[in-house]
């Protein structure tokens, strides 16, 4: 069996791998590795920002919101987004109706008369977390 060492370098384009190659590399490689870890710590600092004081459930809800909703709603849920209205304060009942069925709870007056938003069944298991984040 031939152990093909070079093939492992094919996947060597991420920060982790730059770090792994730190030993015995040139100054250029070292700079690259340091730059990589600087980027990584910036990314980590950024990911943590705005999470302070959130319960684990609300922090999860924030992640889901940022991943699934801000194509249309604003990053700040209390503001109108590029397509959707503010959703700050949306209750669990409202989220369930709108996200799963494209409807509203009985007696609820929608913020918009339109029906543009497609149902978002992929977030079904995170509705409680979304409600905690938006409350
Ligand atoms: C494709 C764009 C789009 C996406 C993605 C989207 N929305 Fe919406 N959303 C809208 C629009 C537009 C409305 C206004 C009503 C309508 O036209 O459907 C709305 C309305 C709502 C409402 C009702 C607001 C009210 O009080 O009347 C809630 C709650 C809501 N969205 C939550 C979410 C959440 C949570 C996500 C992410 C899981 C999400 N939306 C993803 C476009 C979107």
Predicted pLDDT at 18: 42
Farthest-apart Cα atoms in the chain, separation = 71
CA distance 61 to 68: 10
Alpha helices per DSSP H over the chain: 15-20, 27-48, 56-68, 92-95, 127-134
The residues, any chain, with a CB within 8 Å of residue 57's CB and separated by 6 or more, are: 128, 129, 132, 133
Q: What is the mean pLDDT of residues 48-75?
A: 91
Percent of the chain with pLDDT over 90: 61
Domains of the chain: 5-48 (no CATH), 56-134 (1.10.760.10)
CA distance 25 to 31: 10
79 lines ligand 1 (CB under 6 A): no
Predicted pLDDT at 56: 97
84 lines ligand 1 (CB under 6 A): yes
The residues, any chain, with a CB within 8 Å of residue 26's CB and separated by 6 or more, are: none
77 lines ligand 1 (CB under 6 A): no
Query: Do residues 127 and 99 make contact, with C-beta atoms less than 8 angstroms apart?
Result: yes
Structure tokens at 99: 């996200």
Could you tell me the distance, in angstroms and rounded to a whole number, from the CA of residue 85 to the centre of ligand 1?
7
Query: Do residues 33 and 22 make contact, with C-beta atoms less than 8 angstroms apart?
Result: yes
Is residue 52 very low, low, confident or very high in pLDDT (cuts 50, 70, 90)?
confident
81 lines ligand 1 (CB under 6 A): no
State which of 60, 72, 95, 135 you would mutate to test the pocket of ligand 1, scoring each by most atoms of that ligand within 8 A of its C-beta.
Answer: 72
């Amino acid at each position: 069996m031939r152990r093909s060492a070079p093939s492992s370098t094919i996947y060597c384009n991420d920060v982790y791998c730059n770090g792994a190659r730190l030993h015995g590399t040139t100054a250029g490689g070292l700079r690259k590795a340091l730059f990589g870890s600087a980027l990584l710590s910036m990314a980590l600092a950024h990911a943590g920002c705005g999470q302070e004081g959130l319960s684990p459930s609300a922090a999860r809800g924030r992640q889901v919101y940022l991943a699934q909703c801000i194509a249309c709603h604003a990053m700040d849920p209390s503001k109108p987004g590029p397509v959707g209205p503010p959703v700050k304060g949306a209750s669990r009942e409202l989220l369930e109706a709108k996200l799963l069925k494209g409807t509203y709870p009985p007696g609820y007056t929608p913020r918009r008369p339109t029906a543009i938003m497609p149902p978002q069944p992929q977030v079904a298991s995170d509705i409680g977390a979304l409600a905690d984040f938006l409350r």
